[in-house]
Each structure stands twice: as structure tokens, then as C-alpha cells.
Amino acid sequence: MEAAGKEEISVEDEAVDKNIFKDCSKIAFYRRQKQQLSRRATYQASLDSATTGKDSTKFRIINETTKVPLLVEVYGIEGNIFRLKINEETPLKPRYEVPDVLTSKPSTVRLISCAGDADSLVLADGKGDLKCHITANPFKIDLVSEEEVVMSINSLGQLYFEHLQIPLKQRATKENKEDTSVDASQEDQEDLGLWEEKFGKFVDVKVNGPASIGLDFSLHGFEHLYGIPQHAESHQLKNTSDGDAYRLYNLDVYGYKIHDKMGIYGSVPYLLAHKPGRTLGIFWLNASETLVEINTEPAVKYTLTQMGPVAAKQKVRCRTDVHWMSESGIIDVFLLTGPTPSDVFGQYSYLTGTQAMPPLFSLGYHQCRWNYEDEQDVKAVDAGFDEHDIPYDVMWLDIEHTEGKRYFTWDKKRFPNPRRMQELLRSKNRKLVVISDPHIKIDPDYSVYVKAKEQGFFVRNHEGGDFEGVCWPGLSSYLDFTNPKVREWYSGLFMFSAYQGSTDILYIWNDMNEPSVFRGPELTMQKNAIHHGNWEHRELHNIYGFYQQMATAEGLIQRSKGKERPFVLTRSFFAGSQKYGAVWTGDNTAEWSYLKISIPMLLTLSITGISFCGADVGGFVGNPEAELLVRWYQAGAYQPFFRGHATMNTKRREPWLFGEENTQLIREAIRQRYALLPYWYSLFYRAHVAAQPVMRPLWIEFPEELDTFGVEDEYMLGSALLVHPVTEPKASTVDVFLPGSNEVWYDSKTFALWEGARTVKIPVALDTIPVFQRGGSIVPVKTTIGKSTGCMTDSPYGLRVALSTKAR
């Protein structure tokens, strides 16, 4: 759904204008941290006071300038995970700690103190092959595996912690004034945004003053990093420069720019580092606005270890430094020590959960646009698929199906008999998905609004009234999904008795849940809005959409009394969103470059736990030429979530509207998807039970091969299929890298065979989808294709067996 309505058309036209969205230079906590860190105030640990309990080891650290203590807690967690928490020892009031993301309280492993004195402390897990070396002055932690330092924390001295303060006007004495972690004149306070921050016409008043945090991690021997979605960027994370950090801040960015580090719809504050022999993960559990800087120092062949005639030469390994900065909250970070990619996936899923097992129909093809006009339009489009012998599973309805953008209602003129419409779809084993956004139209005659208002279920403004913002229905209030009672009530709205006209084939799409607020700062909610527990929006902005998807999935489970799996697509997401359904890459554009960037975007989502992901086929914004549309269907057929979608002012683009030749090509791509349904289903099962991504970058399957580490134009589906979508216009060949010196690969169409560890120039026509099966693999397929997945239950199965080098 796009960022603005007709009354907001100027916003739509300039959606990526820096006057609307911030860059780092406009973010006050970023400026403060950069300025203060240049002064190099260090922390010192009081290790002689360290205490080791059943769950954790605790000690104090003190900033040498402010003398204010922080409490450090180090936990060992089952499965080679360390957790580091840093908080104020005695904050003025509690600081926000992200709830509900961790699947349960992780089982801790008692850390054993191996050695220690006033200057250092060594903690080891039970097995002893992983150790934390803590140095007192300056405070630093080294993570040691098999006697090798793999990660250092605060080795660059970028630990930063702004203490909650009494507002300036409440301070009675000069002593209080001096007791601040940021010493600044009145002019500096305005520039640094300590108590209020201006952006355009908006002023963010901060009742708690500055509260940002930061910490650096040095990864030794690593120069390949991945993760921290969502950005329209390359799969491998790039070095950043001042003012160019990766931003994690969920925003509604219509037609977002590609190769840009600005935050878009979702945030997963989790990255992976990989090198031959070791994979690591860093999961920074913080839901406030977060910035990540990355700097790789390449290996130096030799350096002199000492001066003078006996100077020795020593090889210096490469190192990548990662600097995390968040606006508020506490430092709560999980260090996933691998050692393999598979181990890291397992460690992360142990903390945040695995991908929900999707219902089979949701792995078929989905047909959507903003908007199918009425019941007759739905009937005609549905019939069009049958007439042209194209399988599909799900019809989608956008906001126009409702009565004046009131969710859980139907437009009585356009959709007078929604049950009959659903029965038509049911007769062909098809489903319906409708949209349900978090904003609720302010209307005293709208029962959802009235009931939510009566019970105080809306986010409040900083003055205590209901927060009001403009979105699709006009003036709206926003449900406070962070409140468990709101989630419970919202889940109940999906019951058949509450949602008139719904049936058990109706599923849900959560959109605009960043949350999108058309006239708000950066088109979102003011940071000083108030949520359940009296927490400010700034503390939990990035987790708002996560909570809506959680409540929606729970509602669909309750509706079926736990007998059916839910299907919920969300635009906004956070770490752990995989537990509740699917995600897509938002309002992309009908251009070749967006088709190309969809691959690294989906790979990044996949390795950070969210396997059920896709990009709008054809591009949401604009009108794709026929060749681009065909190539996008061919790519989408081999990506986990497969949906065609288009915005309101585009030309109709159902698969049969581009001439018989293109209809045939699209039909064939979709049929290939349906033939592979048993394989897709088994891959999702592996994602669900073992956290193995469905769509995988080559480096996961070939972790020792450097040549795979930067590849992002092709990928593995499971361990058996390599896919290289055609993403250039008028292509006659593609260069496909086939990894593995001991591997053989078979063209899935011609069965031509190639040995691995080489790049092969493959000729392509418009009907070519370059897909290769790995020698030694077996891929289950359906040998006949029906109108939908439900029509194929009794279709026969086949096995595609590819011989390995040993079997030939």
C-alpha cells in the first residue's frame, strides 16, 4: 500500500525526499554519540566486586568522567550463546527492555571463573572451549574460542550510555545540573537534541532527556557481514562512512530508493559474520531507532611487532568493526558463536523462534491489486485463470473492499454478498485474503472504534488523550497492540460472529503498520506518543507491527479452535516475526533494478530468520513492460512468497493481458512453481523444525568457498536447486557460477551436466529460467498440475534424481 492518499499526493511524488525522511546528520543521538566519543571518555570495570550467581556474572563499570556506575551482566546460554546486558545501576525509573520477542526465558549455563584478579576475569562455559576474557581498565571483553580471539567488545572504547535525568526545569541545585552524562551549554543542548529535537515542522519533546546507548564489536578475521534488514541494498553489508550508517527504523517509504541504507518497513537488529571455518551472529535486542556503522580493515601482509634490530614481522588479520547505536533502552546483546552457519541459525531460532509452518495453499500463487473493484471483478479474474489454464490459490482484496476504510466491514454496493463470493472461491479450493490495518477510523457509528475507545485501547498522545493521525480513512486512532488486552480483544474480532461476512477461507494482510501516519514526522507516529505501561513510542517503535501480526495470527488460530494454521502477511516486522507468518518487501517499482535488488533483499530476510518472504511480482508502482513482467514471474516462481500486486493507478496486468506468447510464458513459470510444491513444503518444514532458510545465499551451502561469499544474483533453494533469475532486459546469456569443486550440476530443463567451481555462460531465451539441480540430490515433485493446491491433493508424485560424481 502506498504512502499517501489523494489528499497527500505531494508526499507520494516526493516520498524519498530527504525533507520527509531523515539521514544520519539529522538524528540527534547519532550526532551526540559521534561528538562525545571523539573525547574518548573510558569505562573501568570493578572486577574485584564481581559476583557469579546461578544465572549470570555481575560487576560494575564506571565512566571515568561522569563517575556514574553501570551494571554489567554476562550470561552463558545453552548452545554456545553469550548474553551481555548493561544498564544503569540505579536509573531514575526503569529503562525499556524488549518483551515478547524471546520465545521463552533462555536456559542459562553457569559460567565458571577460570582466573581473575582486579585487572582481569576469565569466564568459561561448562565445556571450556568458549571463554570471556574481561579486562578492567579500560573495560573490554574478548570472546575466545579454542584459544583464538574471535570477537572483542568495546575494544574501540565506543561504549556509550546516557543516564536518565531530571528535566532541567525541575533541577533545584547546581550540583544536579552537573550530574549529567552530556555536559552541554544551552546552545549545544538545542543542537544536540537533548530535551527536544526539531525536524521540519515537528518538535519531539523528550521528557526523560537524552537516553541513547552504543557499543562496538570487533570481529577478528572477518570481512563478510550480512543481515540487519530491511534495506534495499546488497546482501553483503557495505562499509559505512560518517553520516552513512545503516538505519533500523520502520518507515512507510513509497517507491523506496535502491542501494540506500535508510530504514524501510521492517527491522531485524541481527547480523551474521562469516569466514571459512567460522560463522558468528550479533543480535542487538532493542526496538528503538537504531543505527549500525561497519568498517572493515583489510588484512595487512606484515607489520613490525617491535622497533629495533630484532623487529619481527607478523601477519595482521583483517578485522571488521561494528558500532551499534540506539536511541533508548538498555544494551541487551546476544553473541551467537556458531561455529557453522547452521549452528548460528539454530542459536538465533532458539532465542526468537522458527518460521511458522505455512498452510500449503499459501505456497501457491497469490493474485492481488489495489483494488479488485467488486464481486463481479473478482468473479471475472478468477474465471480468467481457469480460462487460460493458469493455477492460482488466493484472491486478495485491498482497502476499497471495506465500507469507507473501516476494517472488518464490507462495502455494501461493491461486495453485497461476501459469503457467496467466498463460496465461489471455495468451490475451486481457493482462498481470500483481505486487508486489516492498525489505524481505526474515528467514527462514533463504527463499532470497532466505539468499543476500542470505551476500553482505552488506543495509543495516547503525550497529553493523555487518544493519539490521532491521518491515514486512509482520514482522521484515525491507532490500536495499542503492545497491550496484551488489546491484542486479545483484536484477536476476537476475527471470530465469525464478530466479523460478519467472513468464512474459514478468509485470511489476513496487515499493512501500514510501521505505523504509517500521513502527516506525522517521517510519515509515522510521534516518538512521544504513549503506550501501555506508560512507555513512549520511541522505546518500541520497531516492534509495533510485530505485535499486530502476533494478534492477527492468534485471532485466526482461535477462529479455527487451533485446528488450522493461520496465514498473515505483514509489511512491518521485527526479530521473531517469523513465528507469525510472511513478510514482503513493500512498495517496489516496476523497473529492472527493483527485480534485481529483490534477490539480495530476500536473501537477507531469509538468513535473519524470516524464510516466508517475497517481493511484489511486476513491481507495485508503475507499469512493467511485458518482458519485465515475464522475467519477474519467472523469478517470483522460485521465491518463497509468490504474489502479483499493483497499485491503484496502474494498468491492469492479470497474466493473460500481454498477448498469447507472454501468457504462455507466465503460465509455464507458475506451473513450474506448482510442480515443485512438495519440495517447497519440505523446505518450509525444515525451516520450521530446524531453522534452515528456504532461500539460501551460496555461502551457506558452500561455507569454505570464498568465491561464494559475495554472490547475490543467484541462490540455493534448499540444498538441491540453484536458481539464477534473469534480471537484465534482452538478455541472451547469463553467467552462472556453479560452486563446489567436487560437485556436478544439471540443467533442470535440458539435463545438461556441468562440473562445479566454475562460471558457465548459459544461453537464455525469454522462456528460459536458469535452474540447476545439484548432483546427489532428490527433488520431490507433482507430475500433474491442478487449478490450485487444493485440487492437487491426489495428484501423483514424482522424484527428480540427480546423480552425484560417485554414482556416475
| Residue numbers annotated as active site | 511, 514, 587
Cβ pair 313, 44 in contact under 8 A: no
Which contiguous run of DSSP H or E holds residue 454?
A: helix 447-454
Cell output for 278: 567460522
Cβ partners under 8 Å of residue 586, min gap 6: 230, 253, 256, 264, 265, 571, 620
CA distance linking residue 424 with residue 788, whole number of Å: 14
Strands 69-77 and 108-109: antiparallel
Sheet-wide strand order for 744-747: 695-696, 715-717, 721-723, 771-774, 744-747, 753-755
State the Rg of the chain over Cα.
Answer: 27
Cβ partners under 8 Å of residue 405, min gap 6: 399, 441, 472, 473, 474
Cell output for 98: 524488549
The tally of CA atoms less than 13 A away on the side-chain side of residue 99 is 10
Strands 758-763 and 733-738: antiparallel
**Angle (CA) 578 583 587, round 5°:** 160
Question: Bridge partners of 218?
Answer: 152, 321
| 667 phi/psi in degrees, rounded to 5 | -55, -45
Cβ pair 738, 603 in contact under 8 A: no
CA distance linking residue 266 with residue 283, whole number of Å: 15
CA distance linking residue 247 with residue 127, whole number of Å: 38
3-state secondary structure of 544: helix
Cis amide linkage into residue 230, ω under 30° from 0: yes
Which of these, 699, 711, 16, 43, lies nearest to 345 by C-alpha position? 699
Any idea what DSSP says for residue 694? S
Cβ pair 233, 239 in contact under 8 A: no
Which of these, 114, 214, 110, 203, lies nearest to 157 by C-alpha position? 214
CA distance linking residue 634 with residue 694, whole number of Å: 17
CA distances from 356 to 550, 576, 611 (A): 11, 10, 9
CA distance linking residue 186 with residue 342, whole number of Å: 52
CA distance linking residue 699 with residue 709, whole number of Å: 5
Any idea what DSSP says for residue 523? G
Question: Bridge partners of 475?
Answer: 470
Any idea what DSSP says for residue 522? G
Cβ pair 429, 788 in contact under 8 A: yes
In sequence order, what DSSP letters do the residues of 325-356 get, joined into one string? EESSS-EEEEEE--SSHHHHHHHHHHHH-PPP
End-to-end CA distance of the chain: 52
Quick one: CA torsion of 110, 112, 117, 122, rounded to 10 degrees? -100
Cβ pair 742, 756 in contact under 8 A: yes
CA distance linking residue 724 with residue 29, whole number of Å: 42
CA distance linking residue 472 with residue 589, whole number of Å: 21
In sequence order, what DSSP letters do the residues of 702-768 get, joined into one string? STT-GGGTT--S-EEETTTEEE----STT-SEEEEEE--TT-EEEETTT--EEESSEEEEEE--TT-
CA distance linking residue 465 with residue 228, whole number of Å: 35
Question: Bridge partners of 55?
Answer: none
